[in-house]
Amino acid sequence: MATAIVGWAHTPFARHETESLESLIVTVARGALEHAGIGAAEVDEIVLGHFNAGFSEQDFTASLVLQADDAFRFTPATRVENACATGSAAIHQGIRAIEAGKARIVLVVGAEHMTGVPAPDVGRNLLRASYLREEGGIEAGFAGVFGQIAGAYFQKYGDQSDALARIAAKNHRNGASNPLAQMRKDLGYEFCRRESEKNPVVAGPLKRTDCSLVSDGAAALVLADVETALRLRRAVLFRGTAHVQDFLPLARRDILKMEGCARAWNAALSAAGIGLSDLSFVETHDCFTIAELMEYEAMGLTPEGRGVQAIEEGWTEIGGRLPVNASGGLKAKGHPIGATGVSMHVLSAMQLCGEMPAPIQVRDAALGGVFNMGGTAVANYASVLERIR
């Protein structure tokens, strides 16, 4: 690989009632350039990750990044979309431009403003990341899709409610120390485990604490070729990346195997020349707690059906064998669709540069893994990151 992250910016994820999609984009675009020590005129290409699907009336958004600086005028800018993996799709497009020799410096922005539409519209918009012809009638929207997946997993491997509650509690405990997280509250295992008025069942066996948060926010990265990166303030290398796309209809695959996720992890680790045990930490896509549980198995941390072992024995805690979602994950941090993949890479770069708050800084972090998923393991992106400056 010949591309490195040289700067970044990240808004807090929250309900940003006084912000717009445009203002969020402009804020992080300016912040990332300043962090990298790069001027707008030095950027060769801009890539925006923005899902939309009805969240924004403005649906031609690539050029909104140009609002950040007049020097961006006439710079190529493209919007990309790949469901909840939209942010990683934007990063991959930036990497390709650099490695094809078409760009030296690329600005990647991921953004979404989700809270400006009524709650029923949120569910309808998110369900557009499923195969509507067969799955559009599922109650509770995308939560209903993962509720069905959780039910099928429970039927095959037994009731995993304890494991899901432990995952939720871990991520909320981590998120409490992350100033960028939407929910900064340690809810505790007992609250996450017990159904209550404040933690009702949402779909299948999933409760509110099993579901990621509807959120507004943006994140940005400045990418550069390695030669350029080594002359700048910092450089976090993409040691390996992979993108695996699977069938959209659930009926065409065994979703409990998450084969696209497994293939993406295997390919990224192989490209990096390492094994899973070499990673210092992982940021993974916990849109629902059942997803994180199944991703333990897909990444090879445990055998199929034994993801529970990783959470019960503390492997994925900070200080454990492989810390997972030290940031709090989507579960606590929030999940503004287009921003999520970029956010995961920003937070991983911060870990590698020792810039996370002390309670959630992984000690001696040398190699970080990122997994970002679009739909129900349809779009699967994995990255291995290493600091080289």
The residue from 84, 192, 211, 261 that is catalytic is: 84
| Pairing status of strand 77-80 against strand 45-49 | parallel
Structure-token pair, residue 294: 């199944």
- Residue written as tokens 């991921």? 110
Strands (E), the chain: 3-10, 45-49, 77-80, 105-113, 201-203, 206-207, 216-225, 236-245, 281-283, 367-374, 379-387
Specify the DSSP class assigned to residue 229: H
CB 28 within 8 A of CB 218: yes
Q: Catalytic: 335?
A: yes
Q: Catalytic: 287?
A: no
Chain centre distance of CA 333:
10
- The β-bridge partners of 87 are none
Dihedral sign, Cα of residue 346, residue 351, residue 352, residue 355: positive
The residue from 16, 92, 335, 345 that is catalytic is: 335
Q: What is the rounded distance in angstroms from the CA atom of residue 346 to the CA atom of residue 224?
A: 15
Q: Which residues are marked as active site?
A: 84, 335
